[in-house]
Amino acid sequence: MSEQILIEGLRRGDQAAFTELVETRQSLVYNTVLGLLQNAEDAEDVTQEVFIKVYESIGQFKGESALSTWIYRIAVTRSLEHLRMKKRKKRFAFLTSLFGENNEPLHEPKEFNHPGVQLDNREKGRVLFARIAELPENQRIAFTLHKVEGLSYQEVANVMRTSVAAVESLIHRARQNLRRSLEDYYKQQG
């Protein structure tokens, strides 16, 4: 099905078009969201939210960019909203534990496993993704979309609604920050 026919079907509310969209774009969305959230369960939930948002707002898609770019944009936005909501909940939980409502200790996040990381490189992958998660938001988004998802600088610029030069700068700074962070980590490991 061509992209234009798919879009027209989605605008009509055609179930077959929506099924086609999910089947052809599900792994793209899931991997993008997983790269940003670094939690499989959260990524599954947010991926579902992304497709619901696409279905509900396809009428707003103007066709100024590729459909996949628009979907990436929604995936990134939903992921960031999810992270912000999670931070607010953590802050509330921390304050609650400080003032003794439950007095339960905060739990460490679950171990992160990305499907693109080979089994023998899981530890290195875990460390790398933990360091990526520490990057400033725009650096993390640009780096994840380019290096993890394989988007070109132009595609990342379209998703982030910025210039290619800004994306290049963000990725350069992300690499520098990651290099410093990983060097420090491995020095501490001996």
DSSP assignment string, 110-138: PPP--TTS-GGGHHHHHHHHHHHHTS-HH
Per the CB < 8 A criterion, the answer to whether 43 and 85 are in contact is: no
Distances (CA, A) of 116 to 36, 47, 65, 77: 14, 17, 27, 22
Cα of 120 vs its chain's centroid, Å: 24
Quickly name the fold that domain 111-190 has.
Arc Repressor Mutant, subunit A (1.10.10)
Residue 117's closest CA among 23, 31, 179, 14? Answer: 31
CA angle 40, 110, 44 (to 5 degrees): 15
> How many Å apart are CA 69 and CA 93, to the nearest integer?
36
Q: What is the pTM of this model?
A: 0.67
Q: Which top CATH class is 1-110?
A: mainly alpha
pLDDT tens for the chain, residues 1 to 190: 788 999 999 999 999 999 999 999 999 999 999 988 989 999 999 999 999 999 999 999 988 889 999 999 999 999 999 988 887 665 545 444 434 444 444 344 445 555 555 555 667 777 888 888 899 999 999 998 898 888 899 999 999 999 999 999 999 999 999 999 988 888 887 6
d(Cα 118, Cα 111) in Å, to the nearest integer? Answer: 15
For the chain, the structural domain boundaries read 1-110, 111-190
